[in-house]
Chain A
Amino acid sequence: MEIKGEHEFSGPKELLYELLLDPDVLAGALPGVERFEEIAPDTYESTMRVGIASVRGTYTGRVEVLEQAPPDSYRLKIDGSGKPGGVRADASVELTENGPGTTMHYRADVKARGTIARLGGRLLGGVARLLIGQFFKSIEQQVDDRAA
């Protein structure tokens, strides 16, 4: 399934680009993260706890950051799995200037397996939106903190 959307941030895109690829920021911003380690350049391993309905569980996964073109775009390859199944995603992120702020465009092709796949669009889309929303809120906070 495809998950895509855009989000407005208040800060400049250089700042956003930096924040979005800072392991410490990400560790704080990703919902339910218990562990976020850089295991190789631009490759991270993470343990995340998701507490939503039937996809509840602990997931371990690997994130690779590819095709970095600061401050405009990058690509993420994500592979995670837990008891309710697994997710493999190929995501692209693009930042564009929007006055004093930045618009982030994201698009991910998500392949799920196990229970997660069986829930399909019925639940997965909603869960993804919820988690992404939490993530953006946290990044926004960081933007504001830096600005202050």
Chain B
Amino acid sequence: MTIADGPALPKLIGERVKRREDPRLIQGQATYVDDIKLPGMLHLAFKRSDIAHGVIRSIDTSAAAAMEGVELVITGAELAEHLGPMPIGTPFPAPDHYSVATDKVRYVGEPVAVVVAEDRYLARDAADAIEVEYDELPAVVDPEAAMEAGSATLHEGFERNIAVESYWGGTGVNPETAQPEDDSAVDAAFAEADVVVSQRMLNQRLAPNAMEPRGVVAHYEPGREYLTVWSATQNPHILRTLVAALMGLGEHQVRAVAPEVGGGFGCKINIYGEEYVAAALSRLVKAPVKWIEDRTEAFLTTTHGRDLLGYIDLAAKNDGTITGLKARIIADIGAYEVLLTAMIPTLTGLMMNGVYRLPVVRHELTEVFTNKTPTDAYRGAGRPEGLYFLERAVDMVARELGMDPAEIRRKNFVPPDEFPFATQGGLVYDSGNYEPCLDKALEVADWQGLLAERDAARAEGRIVGVGLSFYVEVCGLGPSAVVPTGGWEHSGVTVERGGKVTATTGASPHGQGNETTFAQMLADHFSIPLEDITILHGDTSVVKQGIGTFGSRSQAVGGAALISAAGKAGDKMKQFAAALMTDQEVSPEDLVFEDGRIQVEGAPEVSKTFAEVADYAYVPVPLPPGMEPGVSEEAFFEPENNTYPFGCHISMVEVDRDTGETKLLKLIAVDDCGNVINPLIVDGQVHGGLAQGIGQAMFEEVVYDEDGQPVTASFMDYVMPRAADLPVFELDRTVTPTPINPLGAKGVGEAGTIGSTPCVVNAAVDALAPFGVTHIEMPLRPERMWRLINEGGQS
């Protein structure tokens, strides 16, 4: 039976198609970086600082170098002759940051020397045999103390440890004085307000904890002068660009491969020292080299997320109308600026407009160096922090006014007829329709029923609370004007002989399910079965160009590029089909793809099979005038703006009076990410995001002691959410398509981490409100909750 004789093909867009990539991933058949083994491959191990701050006095590598099977031991200072400081991707001033420390260490885990040896264990033993002496310096741990005169400083030229200072609000900043020119409107709004809430809140430091740690294999081929780098990265094309630059190579001499990648969550955007070092040392020792991060190294050296301290003031009228926002934010960025470090906290202020009409704002941001692991993107990257601050503050105003948390939000929503909507920070929300989303969430949750249930539980002496949050976020990063790497995406679509299709995408997936969703889109576009389509990604020698996967851009930017390339390939297929049917006087414009055939619209008898046309394209006898053989097309898609998905989350928690333990009883998430290609995958993205957002609210926290020693560097000490901690999520959606891309899809990868965190904390504060509690710092540790129940106040 050929396709042409088969049954009508169902449309797949919008269907809950199971992920095609899962069978190999869950059966151990996938290839991750650590599965790559090359002949003659050597192994790297890093000697890392065990102090937070100090000058390297001496490094004795003699014992390590003398070990049998050790190829090379090299210190940071020696390596600096081969590798310059690492590039960053933001326009902010940044101190030099070498892959391996050259003279001073600034956080526990910072590498000081590297061993190349015959096997991983030997390399590690040799690294342990390296003796390093330091002149210890006082550790800078508290970001507010770090800014005080007299604090120890990490970097020369960065007085008071300040990396970035920015201000906006009022009517702008005087470029001469860097002072606000006139923001009297902000002060006036606060002076005239009926109610003002002021709260210091910490959005605590988190460890991303991808299931697969980082890893790299580098193979420099002398003679060919060609470098191949396999890495657990979210963006192999950016890796290629940066590694080539630091190695003094052209991009034509570097192939970067992201094989199967076991989760990224933003922490695998950055190109790390270990990646540059592997490339440089492969060239130096003339052999392939491998480094695989262990879990302790992941806690110590993979970028952390969040760690923003906010001083938030929100002003409102008695009727709940929000009249002004002041936010002073201090970002503890750790010891260095890596790829996007300094940019992430700037998103926080920009997104603090939320879903509200906000007449006046004042934003102050200070990014501060401390002796901790550098921060960078972590799922949500700046938005969870901003929306947490805002949604906590809105809740506090509602509580102060005795208003329903849903109704204060409804009152301040940007109405649907004001989109596109320009915020105070200069963003333009592409589209939005908030009220139906709120109503749906209230309906799914049975909000009034929940409140009654809470009150009944309280009457029984139980400690129960309900919470609500409403977020807007920014997805589909680009455009190029705001993304330093370029904000487009690239795709290629090739119709193979036999009518099968191979497509490539630069949006390099590591859990997003592009192999499924992109195939669904092509299956519908060409009206061919899903099995006839292969989606390739993650290899710069296969995927000609690309940016990568971050900022929920796979569909909104990558999917748009795919559809554009598919359109071009489809046009060519129609031209070949028309040429095959010249005797029937068919024009390409009359043709459509239908159930494995290319046919005149409404006349299935005038048709050729997709396979016939593909075969003809590769043996085009006769070649239609003006045409080239074959069907292999590509496209770049440059979005003109970001997309702004939104959603409403509702939760219910119960706190154990005796132990202080918080149990999440319910979580309802109604998200609007525009058009949905695969609801099952969208649900999966929301589930994962919720788990991480709830993890921040309830469990997770990176803790350093006063000497800058991390005390949460294992899964024994850093509490990850477990399945048993989470309720069965109740999910629903509204659909407000974006006009920014032809798919109408906005992005959903980070939604769960943005809405759920303030939602759960709002519920916890509601639970403890009868004890006089107005704010609770995250995570909702049992000890903290117990103290509040017994002592009241704030934490």
Contact = CB atoms under 8 A, between A and B. Distances in A.
Interface of A: 83, 85-86, 111-115, 117-118, 120, 122
A117 B717 contact: no
Given A85-B50, A86-B50, A111-B707, A120 B717 contact: yes
Nearest to A83: B128
Nearest to A82: B128
Contacts of B149: none
Interface in B686-714: 705, 707, 709-714
Interface of B: 50-51, 108, 128, 296, 705, 707, 709-714, 716-717
A118 B128 contact: no
A120 B707 CA distance: 12
A122 B717 CA distance: 9
B716 A113 contact: no
Most interface-central of B108, B296, B711 (chain A CB within 10 A) = B711
B20 to A, nearest CB: 41
Given A117-B710, A117-B711, 15 more contacts: A83-B128, A85-B50, A112-B709, A113-B50, A113-B51, A113-B707, A115-B296, A117-B705, A117-B707, A117-B709, A118-B296, A118-B709, A118-B713, A118-B717, A122-B716
B710 A118 contact: yes
Contacts of A114: 50
Q: Which 6 residue pairs spanning A and B have beta carbons closest together?
A: A117-B709, A114-B50, A120-B711, A118-B713, A113-B50, A83-B128
Nearest to A113: B50
Contacts of B716: 122
Contacts of B705: 117, 120
Contact of B714 (A85, A112, A118): A118
18 contacts: A85-B50, A86-B50, A112-B709, A113-B50, A113-B51, A113-B108, A113-B709, A114-B50, A117-B50, A117-B108, A117-B705, A117-B711, A118-B296, A118-B713, A118-B717, A120-B705, A120-B717, A122-B717
A67 B713 CA distance: 38
Contacts of A120: 705, 711, 717
A93 B705 CA distance: 26
Contacts of A122: 716-717
A112 B710 CA distance: 11
Contacts of A112: 709
Contacts of B108: 113, 117
A112 B712 CA distance: 14
Nearest to A54: B714
Contacts of A118: 296, 709-714, 717
A111 B296 CA distance: 20
A8 B709 CA distance: 35
A122 B713 CA distance: 13
Contacts of A83: 128
A90 to B, nearest CB: 14
B327 to A, nearest CB: 34
A115 B297 CA distance: 11
A51 to B, nearest CB: 18
Nearest to A121: B711
A111 B138 CA distance: 13
Nearest to A81: B50
B329 to A, nearest CB: 29
Contacts of A117: 50, 108, 705, 707, 709-711
Most interface-central of B51, B108, B709, B714 (chain A CB within 10 A) = B709
B292 to A, nearest CB: 19
A83 B50 CA distance: 11
B312 to A, nearest CB: 32
A42 B711 CA distance: 34
Contacts of B707: 111, 113, 117
A142 B143 CA distance: 51
B224 to A, nearest CB: 41
Contacts of B717: 118, 120, 122
A114 B705 CA distance: 12
A8 B449 CA distance: 64
Nearest to B704: A117
Nearest to A1: B705
Contacts of B711: 117-118, 120
Nearest to B50: A114
A115 B707 CA distance: 14
Most interface-central of A85, A86, A113, A114 (chain B CB within 10 A) = A113
A119 to B, nearest CB: 8
Nearest to A112: B709
Contacts of A111: 707
Nearest to B716: A122
Nearest to B713: A118
B77 to A, nearest CB: 22
Contacts of B51: 113
B323 to A, nearest CB: 46
A113 B136 CA distance: 12
A78 to B, nearest CB: 16
Contacts of B714: 118
A117 B300 CA distance: 13
Contacts of B710: 117-118
Nearest to B51: A113
Most interface-central of B50, B108, B128, B713 (chain A CB within 10 A) = B50
Contacts of B709: 112-113, 117-118
Nearest to A85: B50
A122 B714 CA distance: 12
A117 B706 CA distance: 11
A80 to B, nearest CB: 13
A131 B714 CA distance: 24
A83 B296 CA distance: 14
A65 B705 CA distance: 28
A109 B705 CA distance: 14
Nearest to B714: A118
Nearest to A118: B713
A9 B319 CA distance: 73
A82 B128 CA distance: 9
A85 B128 CA distance: 10
Nearest to B128: A83
A118 B296 CA distance: 10
